[in-house]
Amino acid sequence: MSADAARALSNAELEARLHALQRRAFEAYEDAALAAEARGDRNAYARAEAETAPLIAEAKAINDERVRRLRARARAWRLAGIAVGVAGAALVGWLLLQG
């Protein structure tokens, strides 16, 4: 998934997609563990790792988009807090000058 494709998704869609990718990756590793136990398959984990590599890369892209959105939201709230603080200080200064 490209960065542009991730930006087109809503927060709920990003969350659902991330959970689906995690579920698929966990299933692949669980299957590998079962294959390793049942058949003594030494290469099961290597195959699971190769199978999950694209899933992990897509999950990283989705998570990067979530982080970008959260940082933008935090920046907006920080600026709003600063604006309220400056306005409050100006109001207190004005009230002190009036008294």
Closest CA relative to residue 63, chosen from 46, 40, 1, 93: 1
| Confidence at residue 6, expressed as pLDDT on a 0 to 100 scale | 85
| Confidence at residue 36, expressed as pLDDT on a 0 to 100 scale | 85
| Confidence at residue 98, expressed as pLDDT on a 0 to 100 scale | 93
Whole-structure pTM value: 0.75
The token pair at 20 is 């689906």
Dist CA 72 CA 79 (whole Å): 11
| Confidence at residue 2, expressed as pLDDT on a 0 to 100 scale | 76
Sign of CA dihedral 71, 73, 78, 83: positive
Asked whether the beta carbons of 36 and 45 are under 8 A apart, the reply is yes
| Confidence at residue 43, expressed as pLDDT on a 0 to 100 scale | 87
- Residue 1, SS3 per DSSP: coil
Q: Pick out the chain residues at pLDDT < 70.
A: none
| Confidence at residue 42, expressed as pLDDT on a 0 to 100 scale | 79
| Confidence at residue 24, expressed as pLDDT on a 0 to 100 scale | 96
